[in-house]
Amino acid sequence: MKLLVIGCGQCGGRIADEFARLNGRARGQRGIDIISNIIAVNTDIADLSGLSFIRPDQAHRVLIGAQKTGGHGVGKINELGAEIAREDGDKVSEAVKNTKRFHETDAFVVIASAAGGTGSGAISILTQNLKERYPEKPIYNVIVLPFRHEEKVEERTIYNTATCLKSAYLVADAVFLIDNQRYITKDASLQHNLAKINARLVSPFYNLLCAGEEKKPKYIGAKIIDAGDIIQTLSGWTVIGHGRTQIPMLKLAFGGTSDFRKQPVESRRGVQAMSDAISDLSLKCRPSDAKRALYLLSAPPDELNMSLLNEIGGCLKRVATEAIIRSGDYPREKRAIEVTLILSELTNVGKVMEYFTRAIRYISSYKTRWEGIEYEHRGIEDAFRDIPSLL
């Protein structure tokens, strides 16, 4: 599957930058492209300048709203981010239109942090614009949820997150939910944490995108997962996970065996990879709430067999009881069994409902405080009338 990736705001731009690095890895290691184009969109010049892998020209790093912000961002006001995206959205459309191999694009992915200003406000507007121009191509959003400390300290974070999630859900074909808190490494520096989180966030997409673009016959699976399977799976609230089980070097050195006693061990490795993928989902949720699911098994060719596929499929079906499950294999890995898992069309996402509930309370509280400020202001004006002015 080949994506056209658009990163909105600081967080979205950095994750898009990771997709650019991932495409370089696919090209270098496997001789294939999984990205047709990558564009970073921001109201802040400094954020655009800090990217490493996205091309540093105006067609790939798009500055919007410069007249309103002076190139210094929107200060976490996502209504302003949305307004700027409406006014300057044509710049992004022009950059998309100039993609040289646009005809190869299977889908759009638009990325942003829910808590910020530019990305939170712009993602739904840009998604809507793209849907109007390219109705035949699915458009997916990747939305990163705030850290716990951001939710506690910054009230505006909850409001931005709720409005961003609602708006994206109304226009995108599917919304990947990423909980930043699940990827934190304790006692590591902030810069190291953010870089590692972005890399971990993007890495589950690697085999999934490569499998359908593979060119070498020996690496093409017996059951291929391609763009059609992914498009049919993705709908509504969506999460992604990745699990990996290392194969002992001794087994790799001496090859497989037909000994019947080895089969349960091989199956356990696969089941463990699936269990890890479920545990590593990008947002904590109940798999039983998913209506659609997809998994890709990647392993050395001699590890892939029907018994292993059946074990892994059974493991998923036991937890995602209501889901229509699609699956495939990819004989690319050399030293491990890897499972990439997507759960989609989630009917009940507690974290999202929590944001909506807290945002309603925030709006009510804000209105009450504003009314108090207005009353106090009127009292000051009345007092002013009785005091002589020296002007």
Closest residue by Cα to residue 220 from 59, 76, 330, 82: 330
- Residue by residue, DSSP assigns 215-278 as -SGGGS-SS---HHHHHHH--EEEEEEEEEEEPPHHHHHH-----GGGHHHHHHHHHHHHHHHH
Give SS3 for 212: coil
Tokens 């949720």 belong to 285
DSSP label at 389?
A: -
Q: Can you give the pLDDT at residue 366? A: 67
pLDDT in tens, 167-218: 999 999 999 999 988 888 765 566 677 888 899 999 999 999 999 999 999 9
pLDDT in tens, 111-132: 999 999 999 999 999 999 999 9
Is residue 294 left, alpha or beta, with left meaning phi > 0 and alpha meaning psi from -120 to 50? Answer: beta
Q: What is the pTM of this model?
A: 0.90
Q: Can you give the pLDDT at residue 260? A: 47
pLDDT in tens, 259-276: 544 556 667 889 999 999
Determine contact, residues 108/141, Cβ cutoff 8 Å: no
Lowest mean pLDDT among 219-228, 247-256, 260-269: 247-256
The mean pLDDT of 341-366, rounded to a whole number, is: 91
Strand partners of residue 238: 176
* Domains by residue range for the chain, with CATH: 3-203 (3.40.50.1440), 239-346 (3.30.1330.20)
Strand partners of residue 174: 140, 236
The mean pLDDT of 362-386, rounded to a whole number, is: 59
